[in-house]
A and B are shown apart, each in its own frame.
Chain A
Amino acid sequence: MRPAAIEERVRDYVEAERAQIRVPPVMASRILHAVEVSRRPAPRPPRLAFLRVAAAVAGVLLVGAGIAWVRTAQSPAGLAQGKWLPAPAMGVGRGYQTATSLPNGKVLVVGGSQTNRILASTELYDPRTRSWSSAGTLTTPRSLHTATLLKNGKVLIVGGSNARPSSLGSLATAELYDPQSNSWTLAASMHTPRSYHTATLLADGRVLVVGGIEASNDVTGTVLASAELYDPLTNSWTPAAPLPVARARHAAVLLADRRVLVIGGTDSEHLPSSSYFPTAELYDPASQSWSLVASMNYARVYATATLLPDNRVLVVGDDGVNERTAEVFDPRTNGWFPIPDPGVGRAEQVAVELTNGMVLVAGGVGETSAQLFDWRRNTWTSAGALSVIRASATATVLVDGQVLIAGGFGNRSIPWASAEVYDPHGTSLVAARTSRPAPTPIAGALLFGIPALLLGLSAWLRRDRIVPETWID
């Protein structure tokens, strides 16, 4: 069955179910009567309002503490590797931003989206002082852009969107960040505006920008097959050989043999689509040409591709279909190597290679869990969990081997400003928590009894807000 067919079938099903639901006409007058007999509540005395809020806050805090205590005390030991630590929050919440590890050890976070606006602000995280500071402002607000650390130490920011969050409007402009002067300058613009593209630093220091979506507005766009090369020495763009097939929302990674692997994506400007690619292609800078390699076992969009220490590539996740699967590309055979499924569905997650060669995969839409991929054994193990759901966040390896995870979206549209750090060498998070004494029955009674009492008090104080006449049987 084609994906479009199931969509049509579900649409027909919902319409048929809806058509069968009988709505008595008398419901209109019943609702209007209920509205009529209800009255807007009179303003409450300030003291009662304060008590109600205080009781509710105290109740929530105590319930949360009780649940956290019980959960951590009952967790089995030794299941998770590494340790999660809180990190200072960024100045503003961001999703779809970029984060780049600089030669001086700091992390540059650029742009991104908030609920209804695109950000021009940038921030620097200093792991030595564990603090954030401003890194200036972009000339153009942008989200869904790319950031590439050049060999001269500067960071190249390319394209992206400055229309509404998640929309298509795309930019051709590029900007350069100089960590030494903590300043921004405009770089030469690309020939083609693009967002949802990839940018890969080549071995010769140039940057290969591939595919994406060209759009002059936030509704319609064209998926691109074109590719461009940025040369930092001349600050100029030259066209590269175009992809055989237009792609956006794909992933790209530089291989050890200097070729660039491009995987997955789609030729549709809007999602969901029935046209997702399992195909993969290799760009060879020596011959300046593309070649098709074996296809992945699954079609993927928004996947992550991470280079492993043995020069293979780990591909994880997908936006909604093959999200529970992972596979490995072997450049020696130009083929795909089956590995165990991670068992966790991930979309818009982060994946980063640790200094010990393991790959940390964390978060995604609706996910807090984190996992480690062991490239020697081709196995997955738990790495504990993020403190919150993070989709479209960033993960950056710090100089001491820890990983900074910043921003991203929870289930709501407001992105997090918060950040956290994964320490791969730390004591097992779960094991550390199990060292606490188990809660006694008295402690449990206190932890749940007090909040229940306070919530009950809150409900009693609110009793006169209930309007019985509004519920008519």
Chain B
Amino acid sequence: MLQPAESSWIEPLVLALYRPTIQLATLLVRDNTVAQDIVQEAFVRVWLSPRTPREMSTFRPWLYRTVVNLARDHQRRQGRWARLRFGRAASDNPMDVAERREADTALGDAVRGLSRREQEAVYVRFFEDAPFEEVGRIIGVRTGTARVLVHRALAKLRRQLDPSSGNGMTDS
């Protein structure tokens, strides 16, 4: 284990955040194994960086942003974002999975059809109900741009899943 003097501050952060961070990375790269490597690399990078904040409230978006950047690097290297399929672990109840998969297939396909930036914005926004200011910080854009990206993505999804809804937002 780590020496208390040199790394006591990061150990509780790793224990608290490794699980959600791997889940976020898996959503972004759609490959659980790659996501685990990305998260490991992210923790090492933030540990090595003298600029890393040590408070949980600021460390978490800092770590998430590192993960988003590493996921982008991976996707650029692979050059196959659109072709990647989501390799997920089996559930305890295959029937539940089958039913839910049927319901979510259309939405999942539609989400995968969004642009990379829109997917990042949607996943970060709804992963932990992050406010737009934090979404912007994590994906590296300003708050207004994050808001437009999410809004644009939702409008695309709505049009794709329910063509009869049209373009207008007058049905409130």
Contact = CB atoms under 8 A, between A and B. Distances in A.
B36 interface: yes
A34 B123 contact: no
Interface string A23-41: 1100110111011101011
Contacts of B158: 1, 3, 6
Contact of A391 (B47, B136, B145, B162): B145
A19 to B, nearest CB: 9
B161 interface: yes
Contacts of A321: 151-152, 155, 167-169
A473 B41 CA distance: 11
B171 interface: yes
Interface residues of A, number: 65
A21 B23 contact: yes
B106 to A, nearest CB: 10
B54 interface: no
A365 B148 contact: yes
Contact of B169 (A3, A28, A348, A366): A3
A168 interface: no
Nearest to A389: B145
Contact of A14 (B19, B27, B148, B171): B27
A112 to B, nearest CB: 13
A264 B164 CA distance: 22
A16 B157 contact: no
B67 interface: no
Contacts of A40: 48, 50
A233 interface: no
B108 A272 contact: no
Interface stretch (A44-52, A273-281, A352-360): A273-281
B15 A28 contact: yes
Contacts of B97: 20
A22 B32 contact: yes
A9 interface: yes
A3 B151 CA distance: 10
B5 interface: no
B143 A166 contact: yes
B100 interface: yes
Contacts of B150: 272
A460 interface: no
B44 A470 contact: yes
B144 interface: yes
Interface stretch (A126-134, A405-413, A431-439, A449-457): A405-413
Nearest to A323: B152
B126 A14 contact: yes
B54 to A, nearest CB: 14
Given A28-B18, A278-B170, A14 B122 contact: yes
Chain B, interface SS category: helix
B141 A345 contact: no
A9 B169 contact: no
Interface in B12-56: 14-15, 18-19, 22-23, 26-27, 32, 36-37, 39-41, 43-44, 47-48, 50
A366 B117 CA distance: 11
B142 interface: yes
A133 to B, nearest CB: 29
Contact of B88 (A7, A21, A299, A325): A21
Interface string A129-168: 0000000000000000000000000000000000001100
Given A3-B154, A298-B168, A41 B48 contact: yes
Given A10-B154, A21-B88, A320-B148, A471 B41 contact: yes
A347 interface: yes
B40 to A, nearest CB: 5
Interface string A266-306: 00000110111010000000000000000001110000000
B95 interface: no
Contacts of A412: 140-142
Contact of A32 (B14, B27, B89, B157): B14
Contacts of A36: 1-2, 7
A35 B10 contact: yes
Nearest to A38: B44
Nearest to B86: A17
Nearest to B1: A32
A269 B7 CA distance: 45
Contacts of B127: 14, 18
B86 to A, nearest CB: 8
Nearest to A15: B126
Nearest to B24: A18
Contact of A16 (B36, B37, B86, B104): B104
A2 B40 CA distance: 40
B58 interface: no
Central interface residue in A14, A36, A299, A325, by most chain B CB within 10 Å = A14
B91 interface: yes
Contact of A6 (B37, B89, B161): B161
A322 B167 CA distance: 6
B1 A365 contact: no
Central interface residue in B140, B145, B169, by most chain A CB within 10 Å = B169
Question: Sorted from nearest, which 3 A-B pairs have the closest CB atoms?
Answer: A320-B151, A413-B142, A22-B89
Interface of B: 1-2, 7, 10-11, 14-15, 18-19, 22-23, 26-27, 32, 36-37, 39-41, 43-44, 47-48, 50, 86, 88-89, 91, 97, 100, 104, 107-108, 111, 122-123, 126-127, 129, 136, 140-145, 147-148, 150-152, 154-155, 157-158, 161-162, 165, 167-172
Interface of A: 1-4, 6-7, 9-11, 13-18, 20-24, 27-28, 30-32, 34-36, 38, 40-41, 115, 165-166, 271-272, 274-276, 278, 297-299, 319-323, 325, 345, 347-348, 365-366, 391-392, 409, 411-413, 467, 470-473
